[in-house]
Amino acid sequence: MPIIKDGAFAPDPWVAITDDQPIPATGDIWVSLARLDSDWGTLCSHAGELGVEVPNTTKAEKLKPYLGKLSLILLPFPAYTDGRAYSLARLLREEGYIHDLRARGNVLPDQLQFMKQVGFTSFEVTDRFPAEVWTKAAQHISAVYQEGYTEPHAARTAIWEARRARS
Amino acid sequence: MYRYDEFDHRFVAERVSQFRDQAARRLSGELTEEEFRPLRLMNGLYLQLHAYMLRVAIPYGTLNGKQMDRLAYIAEKYDRGYGHFTTRQNIQYNWIKLEDTAEILEKLAEVEMHAIQTSGNCIRNVTTDQWAGAAADELADPRPVGELLRQWSSLHPEFSYLPRKFKIAVTGSPHDRAAVRVHDIGLRMHLNDKGERGWEVIVGGGLGRTPFVGVTVRDFLPEAELRAYLEAIMRVYNLYGRRDNKYKARVKILVHELGKEEFQRQVEAEYARKPATNVELDVAELQRIETYFAAPAYEELPKFSTGFENARIQDKEFAQWVKVNVAHHKQQGYAIVNISLKPEGGIPGDATAEQMRVVADLGRRFSFDEIRVSHAQNLVLPHVKRDDLYTVYIALKAHNLASGNIGLAGDIIACPGLDYCALATARSIPIAQGISRRFADVKRQEEIGPLKINISGCINACGHHHVGHIGILGLDKKGEEYYQITLGGSSSDDAAIGSILGPGFAADEVADAIEKILDTYLGLRTGPEETFLLAYRRVGEKPFKEALYANH
């Protein structure tokens, strides 16, 4: 599956390690949350970068102890109408997580802007749509009403703040 | 009235262009119907039995003459010359082409209107008291908060893919005309000892398959915290609301399954957890919005209007209409005019383009260019001088808009039913028409007194049958329509869900059944001051059951 990062298709440097695979000594790897729990003793001192995929029913508090070691969190969209990961992403950002947050599953161009606004930074997408469709869809709305949901590439202007600054 | 600034204009224009692009991608086949569906729904576009239906938002039910004229234009140019005002104070058009939709949205944007979030699993159009800003009993105008919430909820990135639709209602009056207890969130204004505004927050009310009256989670939330607190509620709902069964996905089920205390605990924990919110920004925005809702430039008028009193004596029909359709205004010398969209045998909530233009014109000439849509599917001219009432009445009468039945038996709420709707199990409109004809005599309606008859054509309850004093639910039994009757519901301060009376009736038996119920009521009431609802609450269902089923 292609990855979109920083507004363009990009290679995926991460290696997914399934629950039945051994954990390699080096390399940038991501594992399931169950694996993170069970093998934390090994994983906490992993030589490469570490990531985790988290079900969208997970409570954000559950991830808190791991956050300092993680540089990729993948949140799934089992269906693009299942919006739980929007809140979960937002909560992780509010908890201070600053590294890559990736949306995977049923990720479509028309949801890209909202995903960026709540804090997603990379996207595992289908190859059905060319790059320009993704780019265009992600920046349709340039100004938004919600405080704290702006994003440098889309939704640049926070309307309420802009109004207050002007008055 | 609120007016768009350049930000609002830009926002709506960008949304229209976004939709135009989405519709083009659907028409070219790039998007599947399944992928397009939630996108079009979030812009109010449904695929119905015969055509697309477009629902246009009328935020908190307030609009001006120019906007109403535009609604008339759209009815003529893109539909069949009429529109249907809904229980969410919106308007919908039943015969729209997908190819025309982006153009219609552009025409709406020109007059500061849109169809954003009039459907879909997102926060819907915020509704309020149709007499807001005019009612004599009001603490303060709730519409600034309505506008604040409209903006905050528009394309909210976190809350646009909720488990299910989400409806918010606000009221600034102790007498609840906005049905706040049967909404996902209902907000009711209170004043403290210092005269500061706070809001009672009611969550988890709703109708549909599983009706509930909402529970109060905050008695007095300071107004400045409203948006932040609602965000906490929305987040708990978005994360934990059920998604496994769409009939159990509304927030009322979450509140019910967790219990009030646990739900409240989770919301408060989320609210306490969030980093300090920028409440000053909310306050600044609310103050900016409030300036748009300043009272109109009323004239100082005497209490007594000679012209009005003379007309009332000379024209008995007018006097009757005034008694039923005109309400007290907070400003001396003014009145609130309720325009019934329920003529005898008519379709509740329907208005022709010509009627819309007449109301637009009357609004401009006699009501500071303000019109309201009520959740009972009627229109309102909120600020009319008593001196002008007769002129207004004559103009309304000339266009079949002077039915004197507001709040009476003829003022029926009905969903579009099987005549239009893809979800319906039975027709609603012919049932409403039948009852309306049966009780056409205004004198008889007045004798019966305050009465809400609500009709839904399926269990989803768009016609609010659960909260009708008399509710009628259309169902399908082996290909035959039949109608279940409930009694004792209310959406007001005394909110209650009606109880099913007994076996259902065939379509042609419904009007007879309603008549028997009302005759029974007239026979047992202690006097005219004991309304149908009060009498029912005193005597219970037994006498009504006997009257209806004794011979069955």
Considering the domain boundaries, does residue B97 fall inside one?
A: yes
Residue B422 has pLDDT above 90, yes or no: no
**Does one domain contain both B33 and B144?**
no
Instruction: Give which of B320, B321, B302, B319 is closest to B310, Cα–Cα.
Output: B319
pLDDT value at residue B420: 86
Give CA separation, B49 vs B45, B53, B123, B198, B421, in Å.
13, 9, 25, 44, 6
Query: B152 with B276, same domain?
Result: yes
Say yes or no: domain A3-138 is CATH 3.20.20.70: yes
A57-61 long-range contacts (CB < 8 A, ≥24 apart) are A57/A84, A58/A33, A58/A88, A60/A88, A60/A91, A60/A92, A60/A95
Distance of alpha carbon B130 from alpha carbon B416, whole angstroms: 21
Closest CA–CA distance from residue B253 to any residue of chain A (Å): 17
Q: How is residue B217 written in tokens? A: 């989670």
**Chain A CB contacts of B281 below 8 Å:** 147, 160-161, 164
Answer whether A83 sits within 8 Å of B155, measured CB to CB.
no
Q: Is residue B148 assigned to a domain?
A: yes
Query: Is B280 in the same domain as B148?
Result: yes
* Pair B329, B447 in one domain: no
Q: Quick check: is B270 in a domain?
A: yes
Does residue B115 belong to any structural domain of this protein? no
**The 3-state secondary structure of B136-165, one letter per residue:** CCCCCCCHHHHHHHHHHHCCCCCCCCCCCC
**DSSP per residue over B323-388, as a string?**
HHHEEEBSSTTEEEEEEPS--TT--TTEEEHHHHHHHHHHHHHHSTT-EEE-TTS-EEEEEEEGGG
Do B339 and B265 lie in a common domain? Answer: no
- Shared domain for B48 and B149, answered yes or no, is no
Taking the C-alpha atoms of residue B420 and residue B49, their distance in angstroms, rounded to an integer, is: 6
Whether residue B407 lies inside any domain: the answer is no
Residue where a domain stops, chosen among B266, B291, B316: B291
> Which residues constitute the domain of residue B83?
6-110
Contact (CB, 8 A) for B111 and B66: yes
| CATH number of the domain that residue B370 is part of | 3.90.480.20
Give the separation between CA B116 and CA B135, rounded to whole angstroms: 29
B140 and B264 share a domain?
A: yes
* C-alpha radius of gyration, chain B, whole number: 23
Determine, yes or no, domain membership for B229: yes
Say if B197 falls within a structural domain.
yes
In chain A, residues with a C-beta closer than 8 Å to the C-beta of B278 are 147-148
Q: What is the 3-state secondary structure (H, E, C) of B35-73?
A: HHHHHHHCCCEEECCCCEEEEEECHHHEECHHHHHHHHH
Distance CA B156, CA A113 (A): 11
Q: Does residue B540 come out as left (phi exceeding 0), alpha (psi in the -120 to 50 range) or beta? A: left
The CATH number of whichever domain residue B187 belongs to comes to 3.30.413.10
Kindly identify which residue of chain A lies nearest to residue B36, measuring between CA atoms: A110
pLDDT, tens digit, for every residue of B254-312?
Answer: 999 999 999 999 999 999 987 656 789 999 999 999 999 999 999 999 999 999 999 99
The whole-number mean pLDDT for each consecutive block of 10 residues of chain A, a chain of 167 residues, reads: 90 95 95 96 94 96 94 96 97 94 95 95 92 88 92 85 91
Which residue from B minimizes the CA distance to A55? B239
Q: Which residue of A has its CA nearest to B12?
A: A141
Where residue B9 falls (left for φ over 0; alpha for ψ -120 to 50; beta otherwise) is alpha
- Considering the domain architecture, whether residues B436 and B478 belong to the same structural domain is answered as yes
For range B487-498, the mean pLDDT = 92
pLDDT at A67: 94
User: Looking at the 3D structure of chain B, how many domains does it have?
Assistant: 4
Last residue of a domain, one of B365, B397, B429: B397
> In this structure, are B21 and B104 located in the same domain?
yes
Report pLDDT digits (tens) over B95-119. 999 889 999 999 999 999 999 999 9
CB B283 within 8 A of CB B224: yes
A95 touches B: beta carbon within 8 Å:
no
Torsions phi, psi for B128 (to 5 deg): -155, 180
- Asked if residues B45 and B333 have their Cβ atoms less than 8 Å apart, the reply is no
Q: Are residues B383 and B341 in the same domain?
A: yes
Q: Which of B39, B238, B277 sits opposite A83 (nearest CB)?
A: B238
Distance separating alpha carbons of residues B114 and B76, to the nearest angstrom: 18
Distance of CA A115 to the CA centre of its chain: 8
ipTM: 0.97
User: Is the Cβ of A145 closer than 8 Å to some Cβ of chain B?
Assistant: yes
List beta partners, residue B166. B123
- Chain B closest CA to A118's CA: distance in Å? 6
Asked if A121 reaches chain B (Cβ–Cβ under 8 Å), the answer is no
CA-nearest residue to A113 within chain B is B157
Arithmetic mean of pLDDT over chain B: 95
Cα–Cα distance, B190 to B221 (Å, whole number): 9
Cβ of A163 within 8 Å of Cβ of B10? The answer is: no
Domain ranges of chain A: 3-138
- φ/ψ of B62, rounded to 5, equals -105, 135
Is A87–B17 a contact, with Cβ atoms under 8 angstroms apart? no
Report yes or no: B236 and B267 within 8 Å, Cβ to Cβ.
yes
pLDDT at B180: 96
Residue B405 pLDDT exceeds 80: yes
Q: Are residues B424 and B524 in the same domain?
A: yes
- CB under 8 Å to B402, separation ≥6 — which residues? B321, B340, B393, B396
Say whether both B331 and B376 belong to one domain: yes
